[in-house]
A and B are shown apart, each in its own frame.
Chain A
Amino acid sequence: MSLFSKKNKEVFTAPLGKNNPVTVQVLGICSALAVTAQLKPAIVMGLSVTIIVALSNLVISLLRKTIPNRVRIIIQLVVVAALVTIVSELLKAFAYDVSVQLSVYIGLIITNCILMGRLEAFAMSNKPWESLLDGLGNGLGYAKILVIVAFIRELFGSGCLFGYRVIPQWCYDHGYLDNGLMLMPPMALIIVGCIIWWQRAHNKDLQEQ
């Protein structure tokens, strides 16, 4: 079977669209609320999760035939925690600024349900290459939603994008105000809800009978 067969492409692209981990599988919502007040941390978080889901999917898939069934969740957790710690240590040594940016979020990756969800649902029963693709796809699907939510929140919440002011001063002079609610976690949930609504309205496969 070729590396980029139709099935493998499907494994990679489905999580970006109609099997998105956040809007369809409803995984990883908690961190989607926490890190999306600004675009920059959202992007860094999205990329970190992508790398870690992909690598842990690969490792677990390589080990899948040897893992004792009764302790499989613990083994998965150990692998994920070890990878997160290594990535965090490497960042501190080689990209200190980024690690300061991430600070607490990097620890949050361990508790991201996408990781356990993908390991349990995919990596435990599929070959390493497919698992790697599945991890990349799911990570990027997660990152995509984070970026959309963060874009809306930062734009309307503080009038900025990447920390640079984009709403011109004369809007404020004429009575425009930033929406403080946008910066609160509940607003992230509402935006995610709207994205889910939009996606379901446009995709027949996702509608319940």
Chain B
Amino acid sequence: MNTNKNSYTFIYASIVVIIVAFLLAFVSSALHNRQQRNIDLDKMKQVLASLNVRDVKDAEAAYRQYIVSEQLLADNGSVSQTTEPYKMGADDTGCAFQCSTADILTKRPVYVAKVNGQTKYVFPLYGNGLWGPVWGYIALNDDRQTVYGVYFSHEGETPGLGAEITNYEKFQAPFGGKHVMKDGRIALTVVKNGNVKDTEFEVNGLSGATFTSKGVSDMLQKDLQAYAAFLNAETESNQ
């Protein structure tokens, strides 16, 4: 057969593309549920990691053990919706279990947890690093001011440099015990490595990863500011 004819080329290309398209569509839809389940389980592990519960085997069981409820907050910091753990977004009323920046800024999801009898609040974070998105979770004590733990991850930061935001000892652990708000504004900041002046609010960044560190800092400031009313409410009632 003459494989150089125009008609042959057209037909061949069309058939190849159609076969590949069907194949990919089939693979994608066949695996979708399983993938979504993996993503949810991974999110649970991340929320738990921010509560310093790491390396769990059965993420869902542990999640149900520690998380009391999932809440959405109104603009003034009051609770607008409360759901069972792992139910948020199930009926399209809340944000999906996986939060984007817009979800965080408008719907203000909070995960309410109980660790050793004490209430903790976990807030989702989502921002931009150097090469792509960075995200994380920050857990506060029930005074809504003191950081209990954090978890950060990223899509494609440079290994050995920006990717080190996932490193617990080097980057995440120092957040513990820091305070979040100062004069009604978010004061928790990541500063250049070795430049911490105010140990109450500042955390050392990563050397060689200025933009990733700044991205994490901006993410904390911007996303937590959405919760400012909620964070302040408790402190005033405490006084």
A residues contacting B by CB (< 8 A) are 35, 37-38, 41, 66-71, 74-75, 78-79, 82, 85-86, 89-90, 92-94, 96, 100, 103-104, 153-154, 157-158, 180, 183
Contacts and interface: CB of A to CB of B under 8 A. Distances in A.
Contacts of B17: 78
B31 interface: yes
Contacts of A85: 24, 27
Contacts of B207: 180
B109 to A, nearest CB: 22
Q: Which 5 A-B pairs give the minimum distances between C-beta atoms?
A: A104-B156, A96-B38, A37-B160, A93-B31, A68-B9
A86 B16 CA distance: 16
Given A70-B4, A180-B207, 20 more contacts: A35-B159, A66-B3, A68-B8, A69-B3, A71-B12, A75-B12, A78-B17, A78-B20, A82-B20, A82-B23, A86-B23, A89-B27, A89-B28, A93-B31, A93-B35, A100-B42, A103-B155, A104-B155, A158-B160, A183-B161
A70 B24 CA distance: 25
A79 to B, nearest CB: 8
Interface of B: 3-4, 8-9, 12-13, 16-17, 20, 23-24, 27-28, 31, 34-35, 38-39, 41-42, 131-132, 155-156, 158-161, 207-208
Contacts of A92: 31, 35, 38
A35 to B, nearest CB: 7
A70 B5 CA distance: 10
Given A37-B159, A183-B160, A96 B42 contact: yes
10 contacts: A37-B158, A38-B159, A66-B12, A74-B13, A75-B13, A86-B24, A93-B38, A104-B155, A154-B160, A157-B160
Nearest to B11: A68
A140 to B, nearest CB: 22
B54 to A, nearest CB: 14
A106 B9 CA distance: 30
Nearest to A163: B167
B166 to A, nearest CB: 10
Contacts of A154: 160
A74 B3 CA distance: 15
Contacts of B13: 68, 71, 74-75
Nearest to A74: B13
A35 B132 CA distance: 16
B24 A93 contact: no
Nearest to B20: A82
Nearest to A82: B20
B203 to A, nearest CB: 20
Contacts of A37: 158-161
B98 to A, nearest CB: 14
Contact of B208 (A89, A94, A180): A180
B6 to A, nearest CB: 9
A71 B11 CA distance: 12
A68 B12 contact: yes
A37 B38 CA distance: 28
A75 B4 contact: no
